[in-house]
Amino acid sequence: MNIDDPYLKEFGEHFCIAPWAGLYSNGFDHSQPCCVFNEPLTGVNGLTPNEIVNSKEFKALRKNMLKGDIHPSCERACFSPERLGITSHRNRLNHLVAGELPLVLETKDDGTITPRFRYCDIRFSNLCNFKCHFCSFENSSSWFDEKKLIESNVKYFNPNSLSWEPTDKKVWKTSLPIDSILEEVVPNVSHINISGGEPLLIEENYQILERLRELKRFDVSISVSTKLSRLSLNNYDFLSLIKDFKDVAFSASIDAIGARAEYIRSGTNWQQIETNWFKLKDYQSQMNPNLNLQVFQSVFILNSFHAIDTYKYLEQKWKPDNIIINHCFSPDFFTLKSSSQELLKDLYEYYDANAGESLIPIKNQIAQILNDGDYDLKLFKELFETVNFLDTQRKTDFLKVFPEFEKYWTIGKR
Protein backbone atom coordinates (compact mmCIF):
# COMPACT_ATOMS: atom_id res chain seq x y z
CA MET A 1 0.00 0.00 0.00
CA ASN A 2 1.46 3.39 -0.99
CA ILE A 3 -1.25 5.71 0.45
CA ASP A 4 -1.54 6.80 4.05
CA ASP A 5 -4.26 4.89 5.93
CA PRO A 6 -5.68 6.96 8.81
CA TYR A 7 -7.52 3.97 10.33
CA LEU A 8 -4.65 1.47 10.43
CA LYS A 9 -3.45 2.21 13.96
CA GLU A 10 -6.90 2.18 15.57
CA PHE A 11 -8.63 -0.68 13.76
CA GLY A 12 -5.91 -2.82 12.21
CA GLU A 13 -4.78 -3.68 8.71
CA HIS A 14 -8.09 -5.22 7.58
CA PHE A 15 -10.32 -2.24 8.22
CA CYS A 16 -12.29 -0.38 5.54
CA ILE A 17 -14.40 2.75 6.12
CA ALA A 18 -16.92 1.87 3.37
CA PRO A 19 -19.57 0.10 5.55
CA TRP A 20 -19.67 3.13 7.87
CA ALA A 21 -19.44 6.17 5.65
CA GLY A 22 -20.42 4.99 2.18
CA LEU A 23 -23.58 4.46 0.17
CA TYR A 24 -23.40 2.33 -2.97
CA SER A 25 -26.34 1.06 -4.97
CA ASN A 26 -27.05 -0.05 -8.51
CA GLY A 27 -30.18 -0.17 -10.61
CA PHE A 28 -30.93 -3.81 -9.84
CA ASP A 29 -31.77 -2.59 -6.34
CA HIS A 30 -28.70 -4.10 -4.78
CA SER A 31 -26.69 -2.25 -2.18
CA GLN A 32 -23.26 -3.10 -0.91
CA PRO A 33 -20.42 -1.22 0.78
CA CYS A 34 -18.69 -0.22 -2.46
CA CYS A 35 -18.50 -0.86 -6.19
CA VAL A 36 -15.88 -3.66 -6.01
CA PHE A 37 -17.73 -5.72 -3.39
CA ASN A 38 -18.84 -8.28 -5.94
CA GLU A 39 -22.05 -9.57 -4.40
CA PRO A 40 -25.28 -7.92 -3.27
CA LEU A 41 -25.30 -7.32 0.46
CA THR A 42 -28.87 -6.16 0.84
CA GLY A 43 -31.89 -5.16 -1.24
CA VAL A 44 -32.92 -1.56 -1.77
CA ASN A 45 -36.54 -1.65 -2.89
CA GLY A 46 -38.68 0.30 -0.43
CA LEU A 47 -35.78 1.35 1.81
CA THR A 48 -34.41 4.82 2.41
CA PRO A 49 -30.65 5.42 2.42
CA ASN A 50 -30.72 5.59 6.24
CA GLU A 51 -32.48 2.21 6.43
CA ILE A 52 -30.08 0.57 3.96
CA VAL A 53 -26.96 1.27 6.02
CA ASN A 54 -28.62 -0.12 9.16
CA SER A 55 -29.96 -3.27 7.54
CA LYS A 56 -29.05 -6.52 9.32
CA GLU A 57 -26.52 -7.33 6.59
CA PHE A 58 -24.64 -4.04 6.94
CA LYS A 59 -24.66 -4.30 10.72
CA ALA A 60 -23.20 -7.83 10.58
CA LEU A 61 -20.48 -6.73 8.13
CA ARG A 62 -19.42 -3.90 10.44
CA LYS A 63 -19.32 -6.17 13.51
CA ASN A 64 -17.21 -8.76 11.69
CA MET A 65 -14.85 -6.14 10.30
CA LEU A 66 -14.22 -4.71 13.77
CA LYS A 67 -13.28 -8.24 14.87
CA GLY A 68 -10.71 -8.38 12.06
CA ASP A 69 -12.62 -10.78 9.81
CA ILE A 70 -12.17 -10.48 6.04
CA HIS A 71 -15.25 -10.91 3.86
CA PRO A 72 -14.54 -13.06 0.74
CA SER A 73 -15.52 -10.15 -1.54
CA CYS A 74 -13.03 -7.90 0.24
CA GLU A 75 -10.31 -10.55 -0.10
CA ARG A 76 -10.88 -10.86 -3.82
CA ALA A 77 -11.27 -7.18 -4.66
CA CYS A 78 -8.77 -5.54 -2.31
CA PHE A 79 -6.57 -7.69 -0.08
CA SER A 80 -5.37 -10.00 -2.85
CA PRO A 81 -4.21 -7.08 -5.06
CA GLU A 82 -2.68 -5.31 -2.05
CA ARG A 83 -0.41 -8.29 -1.38
CA LEU A 84 0.96 -7.79 -4.90
CA GLY A 85 1.75 -4.14 -4.19
CA ILE A 86 -1.32 -2.81 -6.01
CA THR A 87 -3.19 0.12 -4.47
CA SER A 88 -6.72 -1.14 -3.84
CA HIS A 89 -10.11 0.54 -3.71
CA ARG A 90 -9.99 0.08 0.07
CA ASN A 91 -6.66 1.94 0.26
CA ARG A 92 -8.03 4.82 -1.80
CA LEU A 93 -11.30 4.99 0.12
CA ASN A 94 -9.66 4.98 3.56
CA HIS A 95 -7.45 7.84 2.40
CA LEU A 96 -10.30 9.72 0.73
CA VAL A 97 -12.76 9.46 3.64
CA ALA A 98 -10.34 10.23 6.45
CA GLY A 99 -11.42 11.85 9.70
CA GLU A 100 -14.36 9.55 10.44
CA LEU A 101 -12.87 7.90 13.51
CA PRO A 102 -15.73 9.15 15.78
CA LEU A 103 -18.33 7.58 13.48
CA VAL A 104 -16.68 4.17 13.84
CA LEU A 105 -16.13 4.50 17.58
CA GLU A 106 -19.85 5.25 18.05
CA THR A 107 -20.84 1.90 16.48
CA LYS A 108 -23.28 0.07 18.77
CA ASP A 109 -22.76 -3.52 19.84
CA ASP A 110 -25.22 -4.81 17.21
CA GLY A 111 -23.46 -2.86 14.44
CA THR A 112 -25.96 0.02 14.27
CA ILE A 113 -24.61 3.46 13.38
CA THR A 114 -25.98 6.98 13.09
CA PRO A 115 -25.94 7.51 9.30
CA ARG A 116 -23.54 10.23 8.23
CA PHE A 117 -22.97 9.69 4.54
CA ARG A 118 -19.55 10.89 3.51
CA TYR A 119 -19.11 8.87 0.33
CA CYS A 120 -21.88 8.41 -2.23
CA ASP A 121 -21.69 6.09 -5.25
CA ILE A 122 -25.13 5.53 -6.77
CA ARG A 123 -25.35 3.86 -10.17
CA PHE A 124 -28.66 5.35 -11.24
CA SER A 125 -28.84 3.35 -14.47
CA ASN A 126 -26.99 0.95 -16.76
CA LEU A 127 -27.51 3.29 -19.73
CA CYS A 128 -24.33 3.09 -21.79
CA ASN A 129 -23.25 3.49 -25.41
CA PHE A 130 -20.39 0.98 -25.09
CA LYS A 131 -20.14 -2.82 -25.16
CA CYS A 132 -16.77 -3.35 -23.48
CA HIS A 133 -15.62 -6.97 -23.75
CA PHE A 134 -15.21 -7.42 -20.00
CA CYS A 135 -18.45 -5.67 -19.06
CA SER A 136 -22.00 -7.06 -18.88
CA PHE A 137 -25.63 -6.11 -19.12
CA GLU A 138 -25.64 -5.16 -15.43
CA ASN A 139 -23.39 -2.21 -16.25
CA SER A 140 -24.21 -1.51 -19.89
CA SER A 141 -27.58 -1.42 -21.64
CA SER A 142 -25.79 -1.97 -24.95
CA TRP A 143 -25.08 -5.57 -23.90
CA PHE A 144 -28.79 -6.44 -23.77
CA ASP A 145 -29.18 -7.90 -27.27
CA GLU A 146 -26.13 -10.18 -26.91
CA LYS A 147 -26.89 -11.31 -23.35
CA LYS A 148 -29.02 -14.36 -24.04
CA LEU A 149 -27.17 -15.24 -27.23
CA ILE A 150 -23.96 -15.74 -25.27
CA GLU A 151 -25.71 -17.84 -22.63
CA SER A 152 -27.08 -20.23 -25.22
CA ASN A 153 -24.18 -20.32 -27.71
CA VAL A 154 -20.93 -20.31 -25.72
CA LYS A 155 -20.21 -23.86 -24.57
CA TYR A 156 -17.86 -22.98 -21.72
CA PHE A 157 -19.79 -19.89 -20.60
CA ASN A 158 -20.23 -19.55 -16.84
CA PRO A 159 -23.43 -17.60 -16.02
CA ASN A 160 -21.63 -16.01 -13.06
CA SER A 161 -18.86 -14.62 -15.26
CA LEU A 162 -20.63 -11.47 -16.34
CA SER A 163 -23.07 -10.91 -13.46
CA TRP A 164 -26.20 -11.53 -15.49
CA GLU A 165 -29.44 -10.42 -13.89
CA PRO A 166 -32.84 -11.99 -14.66
CA THR A 167 -34.56 -9.06 -16.34
CA ASP A 168 -36.14 -8.28 -19.68
CA LYS A 169 -35.57 -4.54 -19.36
CA LYS A 170 -32.82 -3.14 -21.54
CA VAL A 171 -32.33 -0.01 -19.44
CA TRP A 172 -32.77 -0.27 -15.70
CA LYS A 173 -33.04 2.46 -13.11
CA THR A 174 -32.58 2.32 -9.37
CA SER A 175 -35.71 2.48 -7.23
CA LEU A 176 -33.95 4.89 -4.87
CA PRO A 177 -35.78 8.16 -5.57
CA ILE A 178 -33.46 10.91 -6.72
CA ASP A 179 -35.20 13.23 -4.23
CA SER A 180 -34.10 11.05 -1.28
CA ILE A 181 -30.51 11.18 -2.50
CA LEU A 182 -30.63 14.94 -3.04
CA GLU A 183 -32.14 15.58 0.42
CA GLU A 184 -30.79 12.80 2.72
CA VAL A 185 -27.33 12.21 1.30
CA VAL A 186 -26.03 15.11 -0.77
CA PRO A 187 -26.20 17.89 1.90
CA ASN A 188 -23.77 16.07 4.24
CA VAL A 189 -21.56 14.24 1.80
CA SER A 190 -17.84 14.95 1.48
CA HIS A 191 -17.18 12.87 -1.64
CA ILE A 192 -19.36 11.80 -4.56
CA ASN A 193 -18.46 9.27 -7.21
CA ILE A 194 -20.23 9.69 -10.53
CA SER A 195 -20.30 6.50 -12.54
CA GLY A 196 -22.58 4.38 -14.70
CA GLY A 197 -23.33 2.86 -17.21
CA GLU A 198 -21.87 5.84 -18.99
CA PRO A 199 -22.30 8.50 -16.30
CA LEU A 200 -22.45 11.48 -18.61
CA LEU A 201 -25.46 9.90 -20.38
CA ILE A 202 -27.45 9.73 -17.11
CA GLU A 203 -29.49 12.79 -16.12
CA GLU A 204 -29.48 12.14 -12.37
CA ASN A 205 -25.71 12.62 -12.25
CA TYR A 206 -26.10 16.14 -13.60
CA GLN A 207 -28.90 16.77 -11.09
CA ILE A 208 -26.55 15.92 -8.24
CA LEU A 209 -24.03 18.47 -9.51
CA GLU A 210 -26.81 21.06 -9.79
CA ARG A 211 -27.92 20.34 -6.20
CA LEU A 212 -24.36 20.74 -4.91
CA ARG A 213 -24.16 24.09 -6.70
CA GLU A 214 -27.47 25.18 -5.14
CA LEU A 215 -26.07 24.34 -1.69
CA LYS A 216 -22.77 26.02 -2.57
CA ARG A 217 -21.02 22.80 -1.52
CA PHE A 218 -17.95 23.50 -3.61
CA ASP A 219 -15.88 21.82 -0.89
CA VAL A 220 -17.24 18.38 -1.88
CA SER A 221 -14.71 16.30 -3.78
CA ILE A 222 -16.08 14.74 -6.96
CA SER A 223 -14.75 11.84 -8.98
CA VAL A 224 -16.08 10.93 -12.39
CA SER A 225 -15.36 7.60 -14.11
CA THR A 226 -16.20 7.74 -17.79
CA LYS A 227 -15.31 6.26 -21.16
CA LEU A 228 -14.89 9.86 -22.41
CA SER A 229 -17.32 9.67 -25.33
CA ARG A 230 -19.19 12.85 -24.33
CA LEU A 231 -19.09 15.87 -22.01
CA SER A 232 -22.73 17.01 -22.14
CA LEU A 233 -26.35 15.82 -22.20
CA ASN A 234 -29.24 17.85 -23.61
CA ASN A 235 -29.05 21.22 -21.83
CA TYR A 236 -26.54 20.01 -19.24
CA ASP A 237 -22.88 20.90 -19.75
CA PHE A 238 -20.52 18.98 -17.52
CA LEU A 239 -17.69 21.50 -17.63
CA SER A 240 -20.01 24.35 -16.63
CA LEU A 241 -21.39 22.35 -13.71
CA ILE A 242 -17.98 21.49 -12.23
CA LYS A 243 -16.79 25.11 -12.36
CA ASP A 244 -15.92 26.43 -8.86
CA PHE A 245 -15.46 22.96 -7.28
CA LYS A 246 -12.13 22.72 -5.53
CA ASP A 247 -11.46 19.02 -6.05
CA VAL A 248 -12.65 17.22 -9.17
CA ALA A 249 -10.98 13.99 -10.31
CA PHE A 250 -11.92 13.08 -13.86
CA SER A 251 -10.95 9.48 -14.64
CA ALA A 252 -10.95 8.32 -18.23
CA SER A 253 -11.14 4.54 -18.59
CA ILE A 254 -8.51 3.84 -21.24
CA ASP A 255 -7.09 0.33 -21.62
CA ALA A 256 -5.68 0.54 -25.14
CA ILE A 257 -5.19 3.04 -27.95
CA GLY A 258 -6.45 3.33 -31.52
CA ALA A 259 -7.92 0.21 -33.11
CA ARG A 260 -7.25 -1.88 -30.01
CA ALA A 261 -9.29 0.55 -27.90
CA GLU A 262 -12.12 0.42 -30.43
CA TYR A 263 -12.06 -3.38 -30.28
CA ILE A 264 -11.88 -3.87 -26.49
CA ARG A 265 -14.41 -1.14 -25.72
CA SER A 266 -16.85 -1.59 -28.59
CA GLY A 267 -18.50 1.75 -29.31
CA THR A 268 -15.27 3.71 -29.00
CA ASN A 269 -14.45 6.37 -31.57
CA TRP A 270 -10.79 6.91 -30.77
CA GLN A 271 -10.59 10.23 -32.58
CA GLN A 272 -13.52 11.58 -30.53
CA ILE A 273 -12.00 10.24 -27.31
CA GLU A 274 -8.77 12.12 -27.93
CA THR A 275 -10.65 15.28 -28.94
CA ASN A 276 -12.58 15.23 -25.65
CA TRP A 277 -9.42 14.61 -23.63
CA PHE A 278 -7.61 17.64 -25.09
CA LYS A 279 -10.75 19.74 -24.58
CA LEU A 280 -10.50 18.81 -20.91
CA LYS A 281 -6.81 19.69 -20.87
CA ASP A 282 -7.59 23.14 -22.27
CA TYR A 283 -10.37 23.64 -19.71
CA GLN A 284 -8.02 22.62 -16.90
CA SER A 285 -5.35 25.12 -17.90
CA GLN A 286 -7.71 28.00 -18.68
CA MET A 287 -10.72 27.61 -16.35
CA ASN A 288 -10.26 25.18 -13.47
CA PRO A 289 -6.79 24.18 -12.28
CA ASN A 290 -8.50 22.15 -9.53
CA LEU A 291 -9.55 19.59 -12.14
CA ASN A 292 -7.41 16.49 -11.76
CA LEU A 293 -7.21 14.63 -15.06
CA GLN A 294 -6.31 10.98 -14.66
CA VAL A 295 -6.46 7.76 -16.61
CA PHE A 296 -7.75 4.50 -15.16
CA GLN A 297 -5.91 1.78 -17.09
CA SER A 298 -7.05 -1.79 -16.52
CA VAL A 299 -4.74 -4.68 -17.36
CA PHE A 300 -6.30 -8.00 -18.36
CA ILE A 301 -5.36 -10.90 -20.58
CA LEU A 302 -6.45 -9.45 -23.94
CA ASN A 303 -4.50 -6.19 -23.62
CA SER A 304 -1.63 -7.59 -21.56
CA PHE A 305 0.98 -7.43 -24.35
CA HIS A 306 0.16 -3.76 -25.01
CA ALA A 307 -0.30 -2.36 -21.51
CA ILE A 308 3.24 -0.99 -21.42
CA ASP A 309 2.93 0.70 -24.83
CA THR A 310 -0.45 2.14 -23.81
CA TYR A 311 1.00 3.53 -20.59
CA LYS A 312 3.91 5.17 -22.40
CA TYR A 313 1.64 6.68 -25.07
CA LEU A 314 -0.72 8.18 -22.50
CA GLU A 315 2.12 9.43 -20.32
CA GLN A 316 3.92 11.13 -23.21
CA LYS A 317 1.04 12.38 -25.38
CA TRP A 318 -1.96 12.82 -23.07
CA LYS A 319 0.13 13.94 -20.08
CA PRO A 320 -2.48 13.12 -17.41
CA ASP A 321 -1.96 14.16 -13.80
CA ASN A 322 -1.98 10.49 -12.86
CA ILE A 323 -2.30 7.04 -14.42
CA ILE A 324 -3.90 4.46 -12.14
CA ILE A 325 -3.14 0.86 -13.00
CA ASN A 326 -6.08 -1.39 -12.22
CA HIS A 327 -5.65 -5.10 -11.53
CA CYS A 328 -8.54 -6.80 -13.37
CA PHE A 329 -10.16 -9.36 -11.06
CA SER A 330 -13.48 -9.92 -12.85
CA PRO A 331 -14.77 -11.58 -14.93
CA ASP A 332 -12.56 -14.61 -14.26
CA PHE A 333 -12.02 -15.45 -17.92
CA PHE A 334 -10.61 -11.95 -18.54
CA THR A 335 -8.00 -12.06 -15.78
CA LEU A 336 -4.36 -13.00 -16.24
CA LYS A 337 -5.19 -16.45 -14.82
CA SER A 338 -7.11 -17.13 -18.03
CA SER A 339 -4.04 -18.32 -19.90
CA SER A 340 -1.54 -21.10 -20.49
CA GLN A 341 1.90 -21.59 -18.99
CA GLU A 342 3.52 -20.73 -22.34
CA LEU A 343 1.57 -17.49 -22.65
CA LEU A 344 2.40 -16.41 -19.10
CA LYS A 345 6.11 -17.20 -19.51
CA ASP A 346 6.24 -15.04 -22.66
CA LEU A 347 4.28 -12.33 -20.88
CA TYR A 348 6.62 -12.39 -17.88
CA GLU A 349 9.68 -12.02 -20.12
CA TYR A 350 8.04 -9.03 -21.83
CA TYR A 351 7.26 -7.27 -18.52
CA ASP A 352 10.62 -8.18 -17.01
CA ALA A 353 12.39 -6.48 -19.91
CA ASN A 354 10.11 -3.48 -20.43
CA ALA A 355 7.86 -2.68 -17.44
CA GLY A 356 8.42 0.60 -15.64
CA GLU A 357 7.80 1.05 -11.93
CA SER A 358 4.04 1.53 -12.30
CA LEU A 359 3.60 -1.85 -14.00
CA ILE A 360 5.93 -3.87 -11.74
CA PRO A 361 2.91 -5.10 -9.69
CA ILE A 362 1.51 -6.66 -12.88
CA LYS A 363 4.83 -8.43 -13.46
CA ASN A 364 4.68 -9.66 -9.86
CA GLN A 365 1.16 -10.92 -10.39
CA ILE A 366 2.23 -12.89 -13.47
CA ALA A 367 5.12 -14.39 -11.52
CA GLN A 368 2.83 -15.42 -8.68
CA ILE A 369 0.36 -17.11 -11.03
CA LEU A 370 3.23 -19.01 -12.66
CA ASN A 371 4.78 -20.03 -9.35
CA ASP A 372 1.44 -21.20 -7.96
CA GLY A 373 0.41 -22.95 -11.20
CA ASP A 374 -2.78 -20.91 -10.93
CA TYR A 375 -3.41 -20.46 -14.67
CA ASP A 376 -6.63 -22.05 -15.90
CA LEU A 377 -7.07 -23.48 -19.39
CA LYS A 378 -10.82 -23.86 -18.86
CA LEU A 379 -11.07 -20.11 -18.34
CA PHE A 380 -8.98 -19.61 -21.48
CA LYS A 381 -11.43 -21.76 -23.45
CA GLU A 382 -14.29 -19.63 -22.10
CA LEU A 383 -12.40 -16.52 -23.22
CA PHE A 384 -11.68 -18.07 -26.64
CA GLU A 385 -15.30 -19.04 -27.27
CA THR A 386 -16.73 -15.77 -25.97
CA VAL A 387 -14.36 -13.63 -28.04
CA ASN A 388 -15.00 -15.69 -31.19
CA PHE A 389 -18.74 -15.52 -30.66
CA LEU A 390 -18.65 -11.74 -30.17
CA ASP A 391 -16.49 -11.42 -33.29
CA THR A 392 -19.24 -13.18 -35.24
CA GLN A 393 -21.96 -10.97 -33.77
CA ARG A 394 -20.03 -7.72 -34.11
CA LYS A 395 -18.26 -8.53 -37.39
CA THR A 396 -14.86 -7.95 -35.83
CA ASP A 397 -11.61 -9.93 -35.92
CA PHE A 398 -9.66 -10.30 -32.69
CA LEU A 399 -6.52 -11.80 -34.25
CA LYS A 400 -6.35 -9.02 -36.82
CA VAL A 401 -6.21 -6.46 -34.01
CA PHE A 402 -4.15 -8.61 -31.61
CA PRO A 403 -2.01 -10.83 -33.90
CA GLU A 404 0.38 -11.69 -31.04
CA PHE A 405 -2.28 -14.12 -29.74
CA GLU A 406 -2.20 -16.28 -32.89
CA LYS A 407 0.34 -18.71 -31.38
CA TYR A 408 -1.75 -19.18 -28.21
CA TRP A 409 -5.21 -19.15 -29.77
CA THR A 410 -4.96 -22.78 -30.84
CA ILE A 411 -5.17 -23.76 -27.15
CA GLY A 412 -8.77 -22.60 -27.10
CA LYS A 413 -9.64 -24.94 -29.97
CA ARG A 414 -8.51 -28.08 -28.16
Domain 123-413: state its class: alpha beta
Instruction: Answer whether 265's CB lies under 8 Å from 227's CB.
Output: yes
Q: What is the mean pLDDT of the chain?
A: 88
pLDDT at 285 over 80: yes
- Looking at per-residue confidence, does 145 or 373 come out higher? 373
Model confidence at 362: pLDDT above 60: yes
How much of the chain exceeds pLDDT 70, in percent?
94
Which residues, in sequence order, are bridge partners of residue 250? 224, 293
Asked if residue 36 lies in contact with residue 78, where contact means CB atoms within 8 angstroms, the answer is yes
pTM of the model: 0.84
pLDDT of residue 28: 65
pLDDT range class, residue 139, cuts 50, 70, 90: confident
pLDDT digits (tens, 9 = 90+) for 181-197: 888 888 889 999 998 88
Is pLDDT above 80 for 30? Answer: no
Q: What confidence category does residue 3 fall into, taking pLDDT thresholds of 50, 70 and 90? A: low
**Closest by Cα among 64, 174, 163 to 126:** 174
Q: Using DSSP, state whether 3 is helix, strand or coil.
A: coil
Looking at 17-31, 282-296, 324-338, which range is the least confident one?
17-31
pLDDT digits (tens, 9 = 90+) for 152-184: 777 665 555 555 455 567 888 887 878 888 888
Report the SS3 class of residue 7.
coil
Q: For a pLDDT cut of 90, what percent of the chain falls above it?
A: 55
pLDDT in tens, 76-93: 889 988 888 888 889 988
Question: Each residue of 45-68: pLDDT tens digit?
Answer: 778 888 888 999 999 999 999 999
Reduced to 3 states (helix: H, G, I; strand: E, B; else coil), residue 369 is: helix
> Do the beta carbons of residue 165 and residue 331 sit within 8 Å?
no
Whether the pLDDT of residue 114 is over 60: the answer is yes
Average pLDDT over residues 121-125: 87
pLDDT for position 157: 59
Contact 241, 210 (CB under 8 A): yes
Give the other-Cβ count within 10 Å of 410's Cβ: 9
User: What's the pLDDT at 11?
Assistant: 86
Helix (H) or strand (E) holding 192: strand 191-194
Residue 342: C-alpha distances to residues 84, 222, 298, 345, 400 (Å):
22, 43, 22, 5, 21
How does DSSP assign 262-295, residue by residue? HHHEET--HHHHHHHHHHHHHHHHHT-TTEEEEE
Sign of CA dihedral 330, 138, 261, 389: positive
Residue spans per domain, the chain: 123-413
Of 284, 226, 223, 211, the residue nearest 248 (C-alpha): 223
Q: How many helices (H) and strands (E) are present in the chain, helices listed first?
A: 20, 13
CB neighbours of residue 300 within 10 Å: 23
